[in-house]
Amino acid sequence: MKALINVGVAQIGFANQPSVLRTILGSCVGICIYDRMKKMGGMAHVLLPNKIGDGKDEKYADTAIPILINHLLKDGCKKEFMSAKIAGGASMFKFKSNISLGEIGSRNVQVAREILQKHGIPLMEEDVGGSIGRVLDFFMEDGRMKVKAAGEEKLFYKV
Amino acid sequence: MLTHVKNRIESIINNINQLPSIPEVASHVLNMVNNPDIDFKQVAAEISKDQALTTNLLKLCNSAYFSKGKEISSLDRAIVTLGIKEVKDAVLVIATRTVLDKVVMGYDLTKGMLWQHGVAVAMMAKKIAMLTGEKARADIAFTGGLIHDVGKTVLALFVQNVFKDIMNAVENQSLSFHSAEKEIMGFDHQEIGEKVLEKWKFPEILKDIVRFHHQPFESSETNRKMVSIVHIANSVCLMAGIGIGSDGLFHELSTEAIALTGLADVQLESLYSEIPELLNQTKDIV
Ligand SMILES: [Fe+2]
Ligand SMILES: [Fe+2]
């Protein structure tokens, strides 16, 4: 059955073909990983780049991405068939560079790329940065990612 | 500027019946609580004039966010146990729900998004007020946060029609979204929100919060800190994607507002990182 599954802030969602994972992003980054053979995948919605202290692992790129990968491996996905796409990481339109909160979007993107690379998951496409809010849909039938932002839609097909 | 759009918006704000309404009791309660010689009995009597509101209020007062675990069985109990300001905030949550809990075209907010945004910004603003020595006015931060974007509900269809022009102004003239709204339509959602609050007979400080939440340093000096608190709460919630729409993050984050509240970088970052927990709390209300 085709379902639309909403993934909230600091959550990780999983789905099979033909379902769709959806999330809404500001400075957060959505990391989508797809196994093209099993036609299943998962999406993490992270708030911050690195875990410090004792926050929930799902909030941070460096702890959420390994959870996402391991869950998929446990469900029978194979690393050689997995690939990633990311979206989000926007920043406030105008802010002075001395406000570190303003840099969170780009730091999220940076660390998400690094962690994916560290785990050997190729990053196929990304739609990041700027000041737009993004509605991200991740389709399990073919792993495509749809980004709706500022009234326009973009599609990303590479898996 | 598109004069025909401006004229149509003007005719709406000049015709009070076309602006959204809330139960009269809510405005009365708000102004009674604002008065230093407030009489609790009178407030309870005023609320009980509206039966539907009273029923919903008791339910809300027993939610985890407001009750803090205490059982509330009557209006009098609610006022004594929670305090008059908390009860006032709860009244406002109930009173503004039908105005805010709807689809907001143009800004691309599906049903519930603007409502959740208002509630989240309210809770965040209250939290910031407590952190920055404004405990006595934390209830004002809450109410201001709740309704700061009410103007969007009035502008929705206009924004939908002229969205491309607004976005072009943002991109080509490097304007914040609210400035682009004004550039294209002659009004921004802050000004319209202020008109709505005039209709509702809300106090000056709340009008200032709504009117200047994207430009806190243009508000009067007396109200500037409260406006700044809501400005920051709004920015943090938008960054986390809470109620983010077609206007995205095309807004300014004011360094001066942050300095005025005295919030340090680490505090701001932890407010942002605690958004998931705050969202859990909103579930009681939304
Ligand atoms: Fe706003
Ligand atoms: Fe807002």
pLDDT in tens, A20-38: 999 999 999 999 999 999 9
Rama region for B15: left / alpha / beta (φ>0; ψ in -120 to 50; rest): beta
* pLDDT at residue A1 greater than cutoff 80: no
% of chain B with per-residue pLDDT over 90 = 94
How does residue B36 score in pLDDT terms, banded at 50, 70 and 90?
A: confident
| Residue B188 CA to ligand 2 centre (angstroms) | 13
Is residue A28 annotated as a catalytic residue, yes or no? yes
Q: How far does the CA of residue A52 sit from the closest CA of chain B (Å)?
A: 11
Task: Tell me whether residues B248 and A150 touch, CB distance under 8 A.
Answer: yes
Residues sharing a CB contact under 8 Å with residue B107, sequence separation 6 or more, in sequence order? B114, B152, B156, B159, B245, B246, B247
> Chain B contacts of A7, Cβ < 8 Å?
none
* pLDDT at residue B68 greater than cutoff 90: no
* pLDDT at residue B34 greater than cutoff 90: no
> Chain A contacts of B244, Cβ < 8 Å?
24-26, 133
Amino acid, single-letter form, for residue B198: E
How does residue A53 score in pLDDT terms, banded at 50, 70 and 90?
A: confident
Give the nearest chain A residue to B170 (CA atoms): A93
How does residue B131 score in pLDDT terms, banded at 50, 70 and 90?
A: very high
May I ask the CATH architecture of the domain A4-156?
Answer: 2-Layer Sandwich (3.30)
pTM of the model: 0.97
pLDDT digits (tens, 9 = 90+) for A104-142: 999 999 999 999 999 999 999 999 999 999 999 999 999
Give the nearest chain A residue to B214 (CA atoms): A94
Task: Tell me whether residues A149 and B239 touch, CB distance under 8 A.
Answer: no
Question: What DSSP element (H or E) covers A146?
Answer: strand A145-149
By residue count, chain B amounts to: 286
% of chain A with per-residue pLDDT over 70 = 100
Q: How far does the CA of residue A92 sit from the closest CA of chain B (Å)?
A: 5
How does residue B69 score in pLDDT terms, banded at 50, 70 and 90?
A: confident
Strand order, beta sheet including A40-46: A12-16, A40-46, A29-35, A82-88, A123-128
| Residue B188 CA to ligand 1 centre (angstroms) | 9
Task: Tell me whether residues B276 and A56 touch, CB distance under 8 A.
Answer: yes
At residue A63, φ and ψ (nearest 5 deg) are: -105, -25
% of chain A with per-residue pLDDT over 90 = 89
Give the mean model confidence (pLDDT) for residues A49-63: 94
Domain coordinates of chain B in residue numbers?
Answer: 3-282
Candidate CATH numbers 1.10.3210.10, 3.30.470.10, 3.30.420.40, 3.40.50.1980; the one for domain B3-282: 1.10.3210.10
